[in-house]
Amino acid sequence: MQEKKKTIAITEKIRRQTSKKQTLALEKFESVFDADDRQIPNQTFVRAMRGCNNLCTYCIVPYVRGPEISRPPAAIIEQIKRLADKGVKLITLLGQAVNSYKYTTCEKTYCLADLLQMASEIEGIEWIRFVTSYPAEKFYSEILKAMADLPKVCNYLHIPAQSGSDKILKAMNRNYTADKYLELLDKARDIVPGIAIAGDFIVGFPGETEKDFQQTVSLVQKARYKNCFIFKYSPRPGTTAEEKLQDTVSTEVKKKRNIELLAVQEKISDELSKEFLGKTVVVLVEGLSKKPHLNAKNGENRPQLVGRTATDCIVVFNGPTSLAGQFAKVKITKTSPLTLFGELA
């Protein structure tokens, strides 16, 4: 098992692109994950765990990355401290089902809530996110309470549903029902007022009828996500779905359902975005906007910056490039389904 861990660690290092030479020593699995290959100033990802135990029929991850292995909290916190010393302000803890994080020492068993508490105590780190969460029937209340109680933990939850049909969820081996999923969202909103929730969906899964799809539409309407990532099903070699389920939904129907569900979510996103009009939000600035014309006035050509709020809303506004990597207050003057626009407050 130890040799397997070393192999995993080395291949992970080789897989990543890097702009500098790195020594690939035979270190322990928990200490090789250096996430400091940042593309955006002052924010980065930190892997809390890898692998997955859930065995969803459409997913290859458990077979190529193995079962869940959590890194020791001490190694994660040490890495975050190094990143904070380099000026990182936002860290995102990564895991295929990060809410399952668990590491046992001779003293205690650590869960994700413990990790969030420990990371919150690091000077220089201002925002903490975690992705992705699996909607297990027992979603640990401690995680949501940590989000509510710890100011540095962003009120943002990415929790894929994948379908609103119990029949399709069973075929996917998702181990929950649509009603249980919605109950979890209600629980999250009760514990963390103002939480922003994002979801994932697959349309056109084998056996999905129009009735099944409309149940998904209904779930999206009830969930009122900030945004959704919606995918058309395609068989992935090596998965249970590819080997055992016939791809019964035509390409045309998949495309139609994808467009319809996107339209449903776009309407919800537009309504939620408009609630920000006239309000001032705090933004962690990423850099220059790639589409400055979207916030231009009367044909002017001022630099436009882009950043995100703690709840992962994209914000475009005018301002000096020196703000990149810094926090800024922006008053929202215009909205679209996926973007907020404004001026420095």
Q: What are phi and psi of 43, to 5 degrees?
A: -145, 150
Strands 196-203 and 156-158: parallel
Strands 339-344 and 327-335: antiparallel
Q: How confident is the model at residue 293 (pLDDT cuts 50, 70, 90)?
A: low
Report yes or no: 304 and 296 within 8 Å, Cβ to Cβ. yes
| Per-residue model confidence as pLDDT tens digits over 140-171 | 899 999 999 999 999 999 999 999 999 999 99
Would you state the pLDDT for residue 236?
94
Residues 73, 168, single domain; the answer is yes
> Which of 250, 274, 298 is the last residue in one of the domains?
274
Residue written as tokens 């436009």? 304
Would you state the pLDDT for residue 299?
61
Residue 198 DSSP SS3 = strand
Supply the CATH number for residue 311's domain.
2.40.50
Q: How confident is the model at residue 294 (pLDDT cuts 50, 70, 90)?
A: low
Pairwise CA distance, residues 61 & 292, whole Å: 38
| Per-residue model confidence as pLDDT tens digits over 225-246 | 999 999 999 999 999 999 999 9
**Could you count the other beta carbons within 10 Å of the beta carbon of residue 252?**
9
Residues 270, 132, single domain; the answer is yes
| Per-residue model confidence as pLDDT tens digits over 112-139 | 999 999 999 999 999 999 999 999 866 7
Would you state the pLDDT for residue 38?
54
Pairwise CA distance, residues 263 & 286, whole Å: 28
Would you state the pLDDT for residue 42?
93
> Is pLDDT above 60 for 14?
no
> Which of 274, 294, 328 is the last residue in one of the domains?
274
Report yes or no: 103 and 110 within 8 Å, Cβ to Cβ. yes
Would you state the pLDDT for residue 37?
52
> Is pLDDT above 70 for 54?
yes
> Is pLDDT above 80 for 19?
no
Residues 57, 132, single domain; the answer is yes
Residues 224, 113, single domain; the answer is yes
Question: Which residues pair with residue 230 across a beta bridge?
Answer: 201
Strands 227-232 and 156-158: unpaired
Q: Which of 252, 250, 205 is nearest to 231 (CA)?
A: 205
Query: What value does the mean pLDDT take over residues 332-337?
Result: 97
Query: What value does the mean pLDDT take over residues 311-320?
Result: 95
Pairwise CA distance, residues 325 & 309, whole Å: 13
Residues 9, 124, single domain; the answer is yes
Of residues 14 and 40, which shows the higher confidence score?
A: 40
Would you state the pLDDT for residue 139?
75
Domain count, the chain: 2
Structural domain range at position 84: 2-274
Of residues 319 and 153, which shows the higher confidence score?
A: 153
Residues 162, 48, single domain; the answer is yes
Q: Which of 33-47, 190-204, 323-337 has the lowest average pLDDT?
A: 33-47
Residues above pLDDT 90, as percent of the chain: 82
Residues 159, 53, single domain; the answer is yes
Q: How confident is the model at residue 306 (pLDDT cuts 50, 70, 90)?
A: very high
Residues 159, 305, single domain; the answer is no
| Contact partners, residue 37, CB within 8 Å, separation at least 6 | 16, 17, 18, 19, 44
Which structure tokens are listed for 144? 């949501």
Based on its alpha-carbon atoms, the radius of gyration of the chain, rounded to whole angstroms, reads 21
Would you state the pLDDT for residue 252?
98
Backbone region of residue 321 per phi and psi (left: phi > 0; alpha: psi in -120 to 50; beta: other values)? alpha
Would you state the pLDDT for residue 188?
97
Residues 53, 131, single domain; the answer is yes
This prediction's pTM: 0.87
How much of the chain is helix, strand and coil, in % rounded to 5? 35, 25, 40
Residues 255, 291, single domain; the answer is no
> Which of 220, 246, 274 is the last residue in one of the domains?
274
Would you state the pLDDT for residue 303?
76
Q: Which amino acid is at 160?
A: P
Report yes or no: 261 and 230 within 8 Å, Cβ to Cβ. yes
Supply the CATH number for residue 103's domain.
3.80.30.20
* CA torsion through residues 98, 100, 105, 109, sign: positive
Would you state the pLDDT for residue 292?
65
Residues 229, 309, single domain; the answer is no
